[in-house]
Amino acid sequence: MTVTIFHNPRCSKSRQTLALLEEKGISPIIRDYLNDALSVDEIDNILSLLNIEPRDLMRKKEAEYAENNLADAGLSRQDLLKVMIKYPKLIERPIVLANGKAAIGRPPENVLTIL
């Protein structure tokens, strides 16, 4: 089984989720999405797997959310995806992919449901 974690090493929940995976004997592919940006297709796939919309995957308290007026209902899905590519720290973390499914590790135990 291939497991991928979209990881931010500075985030405590991301570190806890990675540790939980390792405790379960899983050596995930670690993708530092802040330095290895996701593509629009990757984000779109993650949204599909999570069955959520772009804003549901955004960290609304980040300055970039307000600065880019991302609460504006007039913004299209494509507009939101482009902003997530430009400002990857807006993307909620960590995200784990496994078995054709996705989970957000908030709390970290959430990822156990897809393993």
Catalytic residue among 3, 5, 7, 11: 11
DSSP one-letter string for 18-85: HHHHHHTT--PEEEETTTSPPPHHHHHHHHHHHT--GGGGB-TTSHHHHHTTTT-TTS-HHHHHHHHH
Q: Is 11 labeled as catalytic in the residue annotation?
A: yes
Between CA 23 and CA 102 the distance in angstroms is: 19
CB proximity list for 66: less than 8 A, separation 6 or greater: none
Q: What is the H or E stretch that residue 103 is in?
A: strand 101-104
The residues that are catalytic are 11
